[in-house]
Amino acid sequence: MLTEDNNDEDVSLFDAEEDAGKSKKKNIKHPLASFFHLFFRVSAVFVYLLCGLFSSSFIACMVTIILLLSCDFWTVKNITGRLMVGLRWWNQVDDDGRSHWVFESRKGKKQASDSESRIFWIGLIVCPVLWVVFAFSTLFSFKIKWVPVVIMGVVLQGANLYGYVRCKVGGKTSLKNMATNYFGRQFLKQALSKEEES
């Protein structure tokens, strides 16, 4: 049974080395994390697109892609999300055996630089979209042997995207409610702007 964690208590998210008083900078504070945030996911996409040119072994290509996707999932979930944007998520099982999803975001001042935040979110959104495109292309081109690989890409990168979006909007906020509120506000803005034009 999956339930959400409804604790309102703050949980320590950051190491002691990070000062709360530092100002937001335009430069990249964590260049290694930024590099690996994009390296594994972009490498998996390139290996998928170019593996036919470099290797005739489907198994070698599949294993390489799945290893890159797994490294990407672990790196983004456990390291780059925390360092680059101050978000993290995980599943916790309590003593009763119930599963709780925990979504955390940095409280207080924003420490992430604009550049890191932009790198993080662009990489997090673009690559799952590419894997969805690859999934449809493999289905429509009847390359059935590639379907498990692209499904793995969609699932692993989609899970990170979902987890970090939940962290960003708040773990207690339903994404359905958030979308409904957004479209309601847009409808209201359009109605008010048309009324003003009249």
Task: Give the per-residue pLDDT at 170.
Answer: 75
Whether the predicted pLDDT of 23 surpasses 50: no
User: Lowest mean pLDDT: which of 106-110, 116-120, 146-150, 167-171?
Assistant: 106-110
17 assigned to some structural domain? no
14 assigned to some structural domain? no
5 assigned to some structural domain? no
CA distance linking residue 134 with residue 45, whole number of Å: 9
Element (DSSP H or E) covering residue 136: helix 114-140
2 assigned to some structural domain? no
CA distance linking residue 73 with residue 9, whole number of Å: 27
Rounded (10°) CA dihedral 148, 149, 151, 157 = 150
11 assigned to some structural domain? no
What type of residue is 81? Answer: G
pLDDT digits (tens, 9 = 90+) for 170-192: 755 555 565 666 666 766 777 67
If 0-12 CB within 10 Å is exposed, 13-18 middle and 19+ buried, where does residue 2 land? exposed
Task: Give the per-residue pLDDT at 190.
Answer: 72
Task: Give the per-residue pLDDT at 15.
Answer: 38
166 assigned to some structural domain? yes
pLDDT digits (tens, 9 = 90+) for 72-98: 999 999 999 888 888 888 888 888 888
8 assigned to some structural domain? no
Task: Give the per-residue pLDDT at 176.
Answer: 59
Whether the predicted pLDDT of 8 surpasses 70: no
Of the pLDDT bands very low, low, confident and very high (cuts 50, 70, 90), residue 22 is very low
CB 167 within 8 Å of CB 183: no
Whether the predicted pLDDT of 103 surpasses 50: yes
CB 31 within 8 Å of CB 115: no
Whole-number mean pLDDT of the chain? 80
25 assigned to some structural domain? no
Whether the predicted pLDDT of 61 surpasses 60: yes
Count of domains forming the chain: 1
- Which residues constitute the domain of residue 152? 31-193
pTM equals 0.71
Residue position matching structure tokens 């979902």: 162
